[in-house]
Amino acid sequence: MRLFLKTITAITVAASPWIAAHLGWGALSEESRKITFSVFGVLVLALWDFVDFYIPREHLRRFGKDYCDKLAKTLRDRPAPFPRMGQDIRFNVLYVRGVWWCSWFKWVANYGYTDSANIAPDLHMWLATWQGVAGVAVASRKPQWATLWADKPPSFTFAQRWTLRNKFKLLGPQLDRTAEVRAVLSIPLVRRLGGSHNPRGKVVGVMNLDAITEAGAAWLAEPHKRDELLKFLADHGGLLAFLD
């Protein structure tokens, strides 16, 4: 289609004297006519690029958000003793942005971070792709489970807070905003590339399940329960990896 539009633009420029005469633009010089019709052609191509790229991407983004909503609803509707969404656990989907030497996570979906009275302090917190449990999942390309604390939130020295000398390389404000998180299950979103003879994958994001209560952390700490949940989320992660 783009080639067709380029051809039409070239024909229009070539026929500009005839078109200008019929439109009453005969007073324009030949150079002015060519510039006018060339600008018109560029605008047509720009409009086509917008229609061809942005609109399908927007439809894909909306489909991805709806898919995440249904996935979160499935977790929310699980019967007890499964942890309660928003009270015991939270769920988010993050995609990788930037380039390899300067990349970060973009929040695209989150559940359980807000209620009628409160907003979680770490909602939409900026996070580099080498930080947090999510950063370990991206680097290893494997799901990661980490218990951050049990009885009380850990305290950090000045060096640990401001020189990244803590296990997950968080800065002081990030440590403060995530203080209530007791445990994290992070699953990389891997987009499969190549054919069957040369399979490979690219990590494009992560799904995170945070435990914010003792009950939520205890439930997820049981290996067979966590493995079942991990398999459930990983099955959906393949599609989410292609929706970015």
Encode pLDDT of 202-215 as tens digits. 999 999 999 999 99
Predicted TM-score (pTM) of the model is 0.77
The reply to whether 41 and 82 lie within a common domain is: no
User: How confident is the model over 118-174, as pLDDT tens digits?
Assistant: 899 999 999 999 999 999 999 999 999 999 998 888 999 999 999 999 999 999 999
Does 103 share its domain with 39?
no
Whether 46 and 96 map to the same domain: the answer is: no
Same domain, 156 and 199: yes
- Domain of residue 18 covers 2-53
The pLDDT assigned to 51 comes to 57
Domain total of the chain: 2
Same domain, 49 and 83: no
User: What's at 4, amino acid-wise?
Assistant: F
Q: How far is CA 121 from CA 77, 173, 227, in A?
A: 25, 10, 29
Residues 134 and 221 in one domain: yes
> Measured between alpha carbons, how far is 171 from 176 in angstroms, rounded to an integer?
9
Looking at residue 5, what is its pLDDT? 45
What amino acid occupies position 209? L
> To the nearest whole number, what is the mean pLDDT of the chain?
83
What whole-number distance in Å separates Cα of residue 175 and Cα of residue 155? 10
Task: Supply the pLDDT for residue 1.
Answer: 53
Query: What confidence tier does 108 reach under pLDDT thresholds 50, 70, 90?
Result: very high
In 3-state terms, the chain is what percent helix, strand and coil (to 5)?
45, 20, 30
